[in-house]
Amino acid sequence: MSQSNSEAGFFTPFFRLFLSGEQLFANLALAAMVLLPLAEIVVRPILAGGIPGSIPFVQHLTLWVGFLGASLAARDGKLIALATASFLPDGRTRHATQVFAAIVGAAVSMVLAAGAHDLMMLDREDGTIIAAGVPVWLAQLVLPLSFSLIGLRLVWRASPRWSGRATASVGLLVGLWLGGTGGILEAGPVWPLISVVLVAAVFGAPIFTVLGGIAALLYMGDGDLPVLVSIETYALSIQPHLPAIPLFTLAGFILAAGKASERLLRLFRAAVGWVPGGTAIVCVVLCAFFTVFTGGSGVTILALGGVLFPALLRDGYRERFSLGLLTASGSLGLLFPPAMPLILYAIVAQVAPDDLFVAGIVPGILLVLLTVIWGVREGVLTGAGRHRFGWLELRESLWRAKWELSIPFVVLGVLFSGFATLVETAAFTALYTALIQCLIHRDFVAGPGLYQAFSECVGLVGGVLIILGVAVGFTAYLNDADVPFRIVEWAEAHVDSRLLFLLGLNVFLLLVGCVMDIFSAIFVVVPLVVPVAEQFDVHLIHLGIIFIANLELGFLTPPVGLNLFLASYRFNRPLLQVYHASLPLLAILGFGVLVITYVPWLTVGLLEWLGRI
């Protein structure tokens, strides 16, 4: 029995009802995020200005979806954390470090909850309104509620024993005390406490507690209150493009819930299965397709690995090659529209998301082609099984998969038509995929199937958005401390050419990708890098593609690349074996990143041809 299930079984029926109601409420909020933009598309041509308040309501619903999703991810033990804790030996050592990480995580959660409560009370006193008379503080209520629930759940999951949970609950008390004492930390240095938070991260504390904890400690060390972190978190939630992230992600989960992968696998196999390495090509393209919409590459490996790994072995591919190929392919697709990292970079760097979508197409194709070439090489060397080409099979499989193949064209067509915003396009994409899976193919019963897809989407989005929410607080402190200006000064003094800057940027981003997930890296590192890039006349669109391409490598970079751990878990292979299998593709994709970096035409050429820059 999972710990979340034992949690529900222990408490009274009232609390069991709360747990199911929490999921239902989050799913309904996500459903409202789909319906409001769709209604806006319909109403806007009829009623000037569209539906009053629909845009701010969707933005604030994103806040609820994100933080309720984070609370649900904490319940299920799915908050994003460093994988370094898995290196610790089982037994007393692992148990002690889990309890320690929970103490720190719970303390930070309660500090952030106190700051969020202060923000809510300030806006309640001011009487700020979202629209239609709905007060802002009502939307902000989810922040202290979710942070408190996360703290409690970190304590609950710290140990299977009551003694361990009782020890971990000390973090709740410490967090409440720190959050309520204001500038008590101003009297002394905060670096010892920051060191404690960093150690907790190594032991498995969620990433959001690291970034949020450091941000809160730095502000409190200056005599400020943790409410400053919450102010930045709330400011992120009302970014105009942010709601597109959960909506596009929902489309990916709806596709994964049906048999879309089987139809596409059949089509790609019919089209290229006859060439050397045909099955490998199929796996690469299929993984890239799903990663575009699910955003988190882990979803691709977990969802498709059980189908593709046996298919490769059955066709005669070596196990080491198959393991490395699927581990690497799980992160392909992040440069294609409308992948989540592209939208996040557009928000942070303040560039047009649709320009970034166009810019990522050619570099994304390059990385896919390099991986495909590696697969063809394997097919030539080993003579791995090839499938007889048949026009009839190709025609039938193409007809069966035509709706899934139309999705990218529908997304770009709606977005560039001018009739819909990015968020409205994302809502339409979610509706379109639901119609394909539920009504056309009837892969699952609409009610239960969509509920499951909504639930999985909410959990993933929550795990990401809570990181982004606290990361902007950390970034705001760095800006207040003039860190970007100091980095620019250092670069001007020590870096004398654009090429040297780009090389240093690649090395730096590779190191960042080793220790930080792509989502928090975008929000923490991009604001620091952008001013320097502008000094060397690097176009911000080109910088974004360089940034995301480099961080794709972070998924494969030992010792803590996310794909490495997920592949080890999904394929039941030792971690060192996964490391060894992935190294050739790490080198191949690294070469591709260098080409993308030093040949800017690959990124901006299509934009120039379209007259967009």
Q: Which of these, 252, 291, 229, lies nearest to 523 by C-alpha position?
A: 229
pLDDT tens-digit profile of 367-392?
A: 999 999 999 999 988 887 777 888 89
What tokens appear for 530 in the block?
A: 């952008």
Pairing of strands 134-135, 129-131: antiparallel
Amino acid at the residue 542? H
Domain boundary among 205, 237, 269: 237
Residues 279 and 223 placed together within one structural domain of the fold: no
* pLDDT (tens digit per residue) in 484-524: 888 888 887 888 888 889 988 888 888 787 777 777 788 88
What is the average pLDDT across 537-550? Answer: 93
* Residue 407: closest CA among 250, 251, 244: 251
How many CB atoms lie under 10 A from the CB of residue 95?
Answer: 16
Burial of 44 per CB tally in 10 Å (0-12, 13-18, 19+): middle
Domain boundary among 173, 206, 237: 237
Share of the chain above pLDDT 90, in %: 39
E-strand spans in 216-301? Answer: none
DSSP string, 331-363: TTTTTSTT-HHHHHHHHHHT--HHHHHHHTHHH
- Beta carbons of 501 and 495 less than 8 angstroms apart: yes
Burial label, 493 (beta-carbon count in 10 A; 0-12, 13-18, 19+): exposed
Q: Is the pLDDT of residue 308 over 90?
A: no
Which pLDDT does position 1 carry in this prediction? 39
Residues 226 and 250 in one domain: no
Which letter does DSSP use for residue 418 in this model?
S
Residues 403 and 290 in one domain: yes
Domain assignment present for 349: no
**Co-location of 391 and 509 in the same domain:** no
Domain check: are 33 and 159 in the same one? yes
- Give the H or E element holding residue 366: helix 361-382
Q: Is the pLDDT of residue 5 over 50?
A: no
> Considering only CA atoms, which of 203, 7, 190, 199 is closest in space to residue 95?
203
* Residues 278, 386 contacting (CB under 8 angstroms): yes
pLDDT band at 563 (very low <50, low <70, confident <90, very high): confident
Using the CB atoms, write b or e for 244-275: b if 16+ within 10 Å.
bbbbbbbbbbbbbbbbbbebbbbbbbbbbbeb
CA distance 150 to 259: 34
CA distance 52 to 40: 9
Residue 5 per-residue DSSP state: H
Same structural domain, 135 and 20: yes
Rounded to whole angstroms, the Cα distance separating 427 from 203 reads 39
- Please give the helix or strand (H or E) that residue 481 lies within, else none: none
Q: Does residue 605 lie within any of the structural domains?
A: yes
In a domain, 346, yes or no: no
Question: Mutual orientation of helices 402-416 and 391-400 as an angle, nearest 10°?
Answer: 50
**495 and 421, same structural domain?**
no
pLDDT for 491 equals: 83
DSSP string, 113-164: HHHHHHHHHHHHHHT-EEETTEEHHHHHTHHHHHHHHHHHHHHHTT-SSHHH
Q: Which residues pair with 81 in a beta bridge?
A: 206
Residue 343 included in any domain: no
Tell me: do 94 and 219 sit in the same domain.
Answer: yes
The pLDDT assigned to 30 comes to 95
Nearest partner of 73 among 171, 208, 195, judged by Cα: 208
Residues 501, 512: one domain?
A: yes
Mean pLDDT over 430-452 rounds to 89
Q: What is the pTM of this model?
A: 0.85
Q: Which of 600, 597, 491 minimizes the C-alpha distance to 550?
A: 597
348 located within any domain? no
| Number of structural domains the chain divides into | 3
| Structural domain harbouring 394 | 244-334+354-459
Q: Are residues 253 and 368 in the same domain?
A: yes
